[in-house]
Structure 1
Amino acid sequence: MAAPPDSDPSSSIFSDKHSRLPDDTVFYAVFPDSSLASSTTTAAAASLHSLHIQILQTLTPLTSDYIWQHQPFSLSPSASPKPSCLCSNHLPHLHGHLRVGDNLDDEWFTVFLLFHVSSSFPDLSIRVWDSDGEFLLIEAAFHLPRWLNPQTSSNRVFIRRGELHIVPRHRLRSPNLAEALSFIISFGDESAAAPAVQAAVKKRISEYPEKARRNMHSVRVRVPAAVARVLSQEPCMVTLAVEGFYDRDIDTMKYAAKMERFLSRGREEELVRVSVKMSRAMYAQLVQQTFQAPKCYPMPPDRSDSAYVEAELGMKIACGLEMMYQHRRKDGSEGKGSSWEAFRESLERSGYFGGLIKGSKEYQRLMQNAEEYSRSSASFSRASEMLSAPVRRIDEILALPYSVDDFKRVDVPPSDDDYWLYNGEDELNSELLERQKEMELYDLKHKKKQKSKEQDNVGPSSSSGAEAFNPGDIAKTMQAFVEKVSSYKGAEVPENRNLKEVDLDVDRFFKDLESMMKSHGGEEATSDADSNEGSSSDLEFDDSEDENDSAELLEDMEDGEDTFMHSYTDALNEELKSTTLEKSFVRANEQAPKKDEGTSNVMEDMEEDFTPVDVDVNLVKSLLDSFSSQQGLPGPASNLLGLMGLQLPQDKKKGGK
Structure 2
Amino acid sequence: MSIEPGISSMFLTKNSRLPEDTVFFSLFPDFSLKSDLNSQNPKTNLNISSQLQSLHLEIVQTLTSYTANYIWQHEPFTLSLSTQSPCSVCPSSSNRIPHLHGKLRYGDNLEDEWFVVFLLFETSRKFPYLSICVWDTDGEFLLIEAAFHLPKWVNPETSTNRIFIRGGNLHIVPINHFPSVPNLFDALSYVSTNEEKTKASSSVQLAINKRIGDYPDKAVKNMHRVRVRVPVLVAQVLKHEPCLISLAVEGFYDRDIDSMKYASDMKRFLPNRSSDEMVEVSVIMSRAMYAQLMQQAFQAPKCYPMPQTSDGGYTSAELGMKIACGFEMMYQTRKRDVLDGKRGTWDVYRDSLEKSGYFEGLIPGSNEYKRLMENARDYYLKSSLHSRESEIMSAPVRRIDEIFAQPVSLDEFKGQEIGPSDDDSWLYNGEDELNADLRERELEMEHYNLNRKTKNKSKEGEDVGPSNSSKIDDWDLGDITKSMQEFVKKMSSFEGAEVPGDRNSNVDFDVDHFMKEIESFMKPPKDTHDGDESDEDLSTDMDLDDSDSSDMEDVCDDDDDKHEQTAFKTCYDDALNEELKNTTLIKSFVRANELPLNKDEGTSNVSEGIDDEQLSPVDVDLNLVKSLLSSFSSQEGLPGPASNMLGIMGLQLPHDNKK
* Aligned partner of 2:476 among 468, 475, 479: 468
Counterpart Cα distance in 2 of 1:310 and 1:398: 24
Counterpart Cα distance in 2 of 1:623 and 1:248: 79
Give the SS at the match of 2:111: helix
Counterpart Cα distance in 1 of 2:205 and 2:78: 26
Give the SS at the match of 2:336: helix
The reply on whether 1:206 has 2:203 as its aligned counterpart is: no
Structure showing greater radius of gyration is: 2
Q: Deviations over 1:279-332 (max 9, x none)?
A: 0111111111111111111110001x1111100010111111111111111244
The reply on whether 1:347 has 2:353 as its aligned counterpart is: yes
Give the SS at the match of 2:316: helix
Corresponding residue number in structure 2 for 1:91: 97
- Tell me if the contact between 1:114 and 1:126 (Cα under 8 Å) persists in the aligned partners: yes
User: 1:354, CA displacement in angstroms?
Assistant: 3.4
User: 1:420, CA displacement in angstroms?
Assistant: 1.1
User: 1:589, CA displacement in angstroms?
Assistant: 11
Higher deviation after alignment, 175-184 or 586-595: 586-595
* Aligned partner of 1:272 among 270, 273, 279: 279
Corresponding residue number in structure 1 for 2:308: 301
Cα separation, partners in 2 of 1:14 and 1:103, compared to 1, 3 Å: closer
* Aligned partner of 1:33 among 30, 34, 51: 30
- Tell me if the contact between 1:41 and 1:80 (Cα under 8 Å) persists in the aligned partners: no
Counterpart Cα distance in 1 of 2:525 and 2:394: 99
Which letter does structure 2 place at the counterpart of 1:115? Answer: F
* Aligned partner of 1:243 among 217, 237, 250: 250
Which letter does structure 1 place at the counterpart of 2:476? Answer: A
User: 1:55, CA displacement in angstroms?
Assistant: 0.5
The reply on whether 1:150 has 2:156 as its aligned counterpart is: yes
Corresponding residue number in structure 2 for 1:126: 132
The reply on whether 1:52 has 2:56 as its aligned counterpart is: yes
User: 1:596, CA displacement in angstroms?
Assistant: 11
Cα separation, partners in 2 of 1:254 and 1:462, compared to 1, 3 Å: farther
Which letter does structure 2 place at the counterpart of 1:23? Answer: E
Which letter does structure 2 place at the counterpart of 1:114? Answer: L
User: 1:98, CA displacement in angstroms?
Assistant: 0.4
* Aligned partner of 1:22 among 19, 23, 38: 19
Corresponding residue number in structure 1 for 2:143: 137
Counterpart Cα distance in 1 of 2:655 and 2:388: 78
Cα separation, partners in 2 of 1:368 and 1:438, compared to 1, 3 Å: same
Residue pairs, 1:124-523, within 5 angstroms: 124-172=130-178, 173-303=180-310, 305-332=311-338, 334=340, 339-356=345-362, 362-462=368-468, 465=472, 467-469=475-477, 470-471=479-480, 472=483
Unaligned residue ranges in structure 2 (runs of 5+):
1-10, 488-497, 527-537, 548-620
Give the aligned CA root-mean-square deviation in angstroms: 3.8
Cα separation, partners in 2 of 1:274 and 1:443, compared to 1, 3 Å: same
- Tell me if the contact between 1:42 and 1:354 (Cα under 8 Å) persists in the aligned partners: no
- Tell me if the contact between 1:302 and 1:308 (Cα under 8 Å) persists in the aligned partners: yes
- Tell me if the contact between 2:632 and 2:642 (Cα under 8 Å) persists in the aligned partners: no
- Tell me if the contact between 1:274 and 1:412 (Cα under 8 Å) persists in the aligned partners: yes
User: 1:334, CA displacement in angstroms?
Assistant: 2.7
Counterpart Cα distance in 2 of 1:381 and 1:476: 78
Give the SS at the match of 1:608: coil
Corresponding residue number in structure 1 for 2:80: 76
Aligned residues: 530
The reply on whether 1:62 has 2:66 as its aligned counterpart is: yes
User: 1:43, CA displacement in angstroms?
Assistant: 1.2
Give the SS at the match of 2:543: helix
Cα separation, partners in 2 of 1:233 and 1:603, compared to 1, 3 Å: same
- Tell me if the contact between 1:623 and 1:637 (Cα under 8 Å) persists in the aligned partners: no
User: 1:370, CA displacement in angstroms?
Assistant: 2.1
Counterpart Cα distance in 2 of 1:281 and 1:244: 14
Which letter does structure 2 place at the counterpart of 1:370? Answer: A
Unaligned residue ranges in structure 1 (runs of 5+):
1-11, 484-581, 612-619
**How much identity, in percent, do the aligned residues show?**
53
Corresponding residue number in structure 2 for 1:607: 543
Corresponding residue number in structure 2 for 1:615: none
Counterpart Cα distance in 2 of 1:425 and 1:160: 36
- Tell me if the contact between 1:230 and 1:394 (Cα under 8 Å) persists in the aligned partners: yes
Counterpart Cα distance in 2 of 1:148 and 1:111: 21
Counterpart Cα distance in 1 of 2:377 and 2:502: 78
TM-score, reference length from structure 1: 0.73
Cα separation, partners in 2 of 1:231 and 1:599, compared to 1, 3 Å: farther
